[in-house]
Amino acid sequence: MSQAVYEEPSQQIPILVTADVVVCGGGPAGVAAAIASARGGARTVLLENQGCLGGIWTSGLLSWIIDAGNKKGLMREIVARLDRRKARIASSGEDFTYDPEEMKLLLEEMCEEAGVTVMLHTRVVHAAVEGAGRLTLAITESKSGRQAWAASLFIDATGDGDLAARAGCRFDLGRPRSGETQPMSLMALVAGINPDEVAVYTMDGVNETPKARLLERMEQAGQTPSYAAPSLFHIRDGLFALMANHEYGASALQASQVTQATLHARKELHRIIDGLRSLGGEWANIRIVSTANHIGVREGRRIHGRYTVSEQDLQAGIWHEDAVCRVRYGIDIHSTNPDQGKGFGDDGKRSLPYDIPLRALIAADVDGLLMAGRCISGDFIAHSSYRVTGNAVAMGQAAGAAAAIAAIANVLPQHLNGADIAQALQRLEETN
């Protein structure tokens, strides 16, 4: 039986602004891209669907940043400014926790200082491509209705590659043969526990033992979480973040599946916390302060670029002349099939530190489009490594710097001089 359809009347869509660079998605990659672009002298617009900047850092309450230790420029600046706010706790390793609410305000301030035009509550729903294959407009929906945003260059930092897909770019999703994707996780902020009393259950950045201890306590309370390595992170004072669930088999590209994953995850988190509270002792007063507004998505579209970061790159520890990010984080595949385990692993593969080249950030099928964050061009194994947010910031910074140079010079990113980009990135590093 065919599905009923409604034929939407054609309409004229107002072109709200003409910018040099339009960045779609205001998560770690998108914010970095917008700031780098604006600091590079480009008129820059940042479009974000949520009610704050930061994406998984803020509306997703991630609260834990990975692979930031070797990143210069904007990542180092963010760390320094969080420290000045006393909004960050370093771990025994290089990873760290931060206060999500302080992060929201900090990212807004940095965009304002750079001169970025920010539009919240604005979702990209379509794209206009000229006959020659040049992306010319990003189409959005918001309380203001349907609007178009024109620019010389666009950056897709939506995580799921929404702009690129709507512009007609090819993409990959999930494992090569099965299509299975890594599960989603809904973060929660919890309070009512004493940092000293729960220190043995709290992640310190290098030791996995706290996860096993926390799992044991949850099981003692009659709750076996869907994620076999539940993690508790100390944010500040008596505030903690908890990751304890996996939502298997849900596609980030289907709203109904994201919805069901979110509803299921929230119920599970409350059951887990209620169970811990029933144990008494150090858990007697634990409560959920907030669950994330947006479930954490590990895997969406991987847009085809002019270079594909591959498993072989990781194994070889590859270097590139047009490198924009050196990834040190290893292969991290959260179970794609709960029947084969509910934790995480590396599929028996090993990696060395490796480069992401600018070419992997430039769309192959549409001109005038760059990507930043987890939607760049890579295979399943490589994506499991570079997807973490310390790398997202570095990729966004590079995409924004390149877009600004290309827009001002009126050239496509693939025609840029590598030395010019290196100089632009160096200037960003020197602003700290």
- And the tokens for 316? 């070889």
Residue carrying structure tokens 């050239």: 411
**What is the β-pairing status of strands 44-47 and 15-24?**
parallel
CATH topology of domain 15-176+300-430: FAD/NAD(P)-binding domain (3.50.50)
The answer to pTM > 0.95 is yes
Distance (Å, whole) CA 305 – CA 171? 9
pLDDT by residue for the chain (432 residues), tens digit each? 688 999 988 889 999 878 999 999 999 999 999 999 999 999 999 999 999 999 999 999 999 999 999 999 999 999 999 999 999 999 999 999 999 999 999 999 999 999 999 999 999 999 999 988 999 999 999 999 999 999 999 999 999 999 999 999 999 999 999 999 999 999 999 999 999 999 999 999 888 999 999 999 999 999 999 999 999 999 999 999 999 999 999 999 999 999 999 999 999 999 999 999 999 999 999 999 999 999 999 999 999 999 999 999 999 999 999 999 999 999 999 999 999 999 999 999 999 999 999 999 999 999 999 999 999 999 999 999 999 999 999 999 999 999 999 999 999 999 998 888 888 888 888 766
- Closest by Cα among 141, 25, 108 to 395: 25
Q: Which two tokens stand for residue 188?
A: 């929660």
Alpha helices in 328-417 (DSSP H): 380-386, 389-409
Contact in structure between 248 and 183 (CB atoms under 8 Å): yes
